[in-house]
Structure 1
């Protein structure tokens, strides 16, 4: 299969067909395209063109297309659809995707849309999902699953499974519950096919099954599914009843969104924004950290002002200020990035003190090697040993301190329930710049006897 590639030529062709109202040609052209590819095309169309295409194609395809669209494009399209048309799309979706779309609708039409959904059981499940926090396993799960009662015989079990499977896109697991709907275990298809038809499920089910509570954080769910290589995981409520399941496609979305958020935090962007957002939204997301950087620079300038007399006597110290600040920032970001990655992947082992000692020794080794190179270069360049020595000793100390700060800060933030990814951005760079310059001039003053 050749990977889909969106081209200007294809978009222009579709725009022309829409303009000419050639619905049959459009339907024929897009017939073999995957819904995700059509969503990519629609993201490039204007609001009226996008709405025309959604209304033209069958709901069994457009419902999936809606879930793949950019949020602002989907919002614009939904605003152009009637409550009945939206309900028709939701009828074709799994409950988790339908609930996500319902949550984006204006409050004044939500009830009307729900009342228009043809499958009342489907509507009830969607409403049930809406009561969960979107940042929880309950807000992430779908109601579609296959479950059997432990007291059923194999014959009844197979009959019930056939009925339930009609509403499930993909059957990952068969869950076993008791008469109170409490999760008891899972059922092996092999065991089901190799035993007598009169055997009761309680005699053959596997009691060991991983599950998560409806209140569990999505990131924790992702860690569990990743650790145990699960394609789906059942969700239980506070008293152990099976209420839904989370599938791998939902977890991939969680991992991607978390990675994007951490990347933006590391880059000094305080809000979740995209390149197509308004200038005002982008400014609000970027400005706080830029202001921090500004004050950090002013602080560094004030520190240097306090050593003005020393700099006037040893001007070479001024030339190495950017190097000291850059090394402090780089080492701090490296140390914090390793810690943040370890915390995110649950790979962090050992006590904080052991981690700090290890990072300090690592920074010391790197610092000594770099300082030796700097000492030789500066000595031969300027011919003043003590000046070169002062700069080199400062570099070692600055690198060690930056390594300690870069290790301690994300661990401290994590303990306080703050996303440690913030420690890999301008925050750690600015703080290390200030500390680095202060340490640099203090050590230079001491070594040079000023």
Structure 2
């Protein structure tokens, strides 16, 4: 293959996904812009937004890369059923990491704001919101990553080309939506 052919193939595979990624990022911004009431009701919530979104991309991007490598090496099959122990292990690790890093972000954010004498919601409230958002977004992101990687692989598209943009876009949109849902849920319960 020539350099030009490789470049054309890369653009053909990546450009549509990158365009969808840009639109998804704008949508996530619109959802965040509509969270004024929640951001006011839970001091410190805005501090969690970049941390939680970045960790979604990191944790589930790693899952996508791990699955892509396993597919290329023939360690797993691109199917959802059967004895896919490696797939179950990778998914379980990603879910656990997603929830644990959400917990850490909430505690670190609370501690930072407390030390800086800034207004901050009770630790229990921030932890509950972060953990619920991490858990809910983990389910959706796991399904999205596994689905996109497997379907793309079966259609002859390099999973590594798809996983990054899909994870960042889906992570932003789902992460913000689940943060909003988790905040409303915790506030409905009266905080923690």
> Which TM-score bucket, shorter chain as reference?
0.7 to 0.9
Say if 2:130 is the partner of 1:391: yes
Aligned partners of 2:55 and 2:101 also within 8 Å: no
Q: CA deviation at 1:443?
A: 1.0
Aligned partners of 1:406 and 1:423 also within 8 Å: no
Say if 2:1 is the partner of 1:270: no
Give the SS at the match of 2:11: coil
Instruction: Pick the structure with more helix per residue.
Output: 2
Aligned partner of 1:105 in structure 2 is none
Aligned partners of 2:17 and 2:165 also within 8 Å: yes
The residue correspondences of 1:9-28 to structure 2 (distance < 5 A) are none
Q: CA deviation at 1:303?
A: 1.6
Q: CA deviation at 1:446?
A: 0.2
Change (3 A) 1:343 1:360: closer
Distance across 1 between alignment mates of 2:102 and 2:18 = 31
Change (3 A) 1:386 1:360: same
Aligned partners of 2:14 and 2:161 also within 8 Å: no
Distance across 2 between alignment mates of 1:315 and 1:376 = 14
Aligned partner of 2:69 in structure 1 is 341
Unpaired runs of 5+ residues, structure 1, are 1-69, 73-256, 272-284
Change (3 A) 1:313 1:286: same
Change (3 A) 1:400 1:288: closer
Aligned partner of 2:49 in structure 1 is 321
Distance across 1 between alignment mates of 2:108 and 2:3 = 55
Q: CA deviation at 1:339?
A: 1.3
Change (3 A) 1:310 1:364: same
Say if 2:178 is the partner of 1:429: no
Distance across 2 between alignment mates of 1:308 and 1:393 = 20
Aligned partner of 1:370 in structure 2 is 101
Q: CA deviation at 1:410?
A: 0.5
Give the SS at the match of 1:326: helix
Change (3 A) 1:362 1:423: same
Could you state the TM-score of these two structures normalised by the residue count of structure 1? 0.34
Distance across 2 between alignment mates of 1:337 and 1:348 = 13
Aligned partners of 1:356 and 1:404 also within 8 Å: no
The residue correspondences of 1:80-229 to structure 2 (distance < 5 A) are none
* Aligned length in residues: 177
Distance across 2 between alignment mates of 1:379 and 1:417 = 46
Instruction: Pick the structure with more strand per residue.
Output: 1
Aligned partners of 2:42 and 2:121 also within 8 Å: no
The residue correspondences of 1:235-254 to structure 2 (distance < 5 A) are none
Q: CA deviation at 1:345?
A: 2.2
Q: CA deviation at 1:439?
A: 1.0
Could you state the TM-score of these two structures normalised by the residue count of structure 2? 0.72
Change (3 A) 1:302 1:350: closer
Aligned partners of 1:331 and 1:403 also within 8 Å: no
Q: CA deviation at 1:344?
A: 1.7
Alignment deviations for residues 307-330 of structure 1 (CA, whole Å, 9 cap, x no partner): 322223224222211112111111
Aligned partner of 2:151 in structure 1 is 412
Distance across 2 between alignment mates of 1:342 and 1:426 = 19
Q: CA deviation at 1:71?
A: 7.1
Aligned partners of 2:98 and 2:138 also within 8 Å: yes
Give the SS at the match of 1:352: coil
Aligned partners of 1:364 and 1:396 also within 8 Å: yes
Aligned partners of 1:390 and 1:444 also within 8 Å: yes
Greater relative contact order (Cα < 8 A, sep 6+): 2
Alignment deviations for residues 112-151 of structure 1 (CA, whole Å, 9 cap, x no partner): xxxxxxxxxxxxxxxxxxxxxxxxxxxxxxxxxxxxxxxx
Aligned partners of 1:359 and 1:403 also within 8 Å: no
Aligned partners of 1:325 and 1:437 also within 8 Å: yes
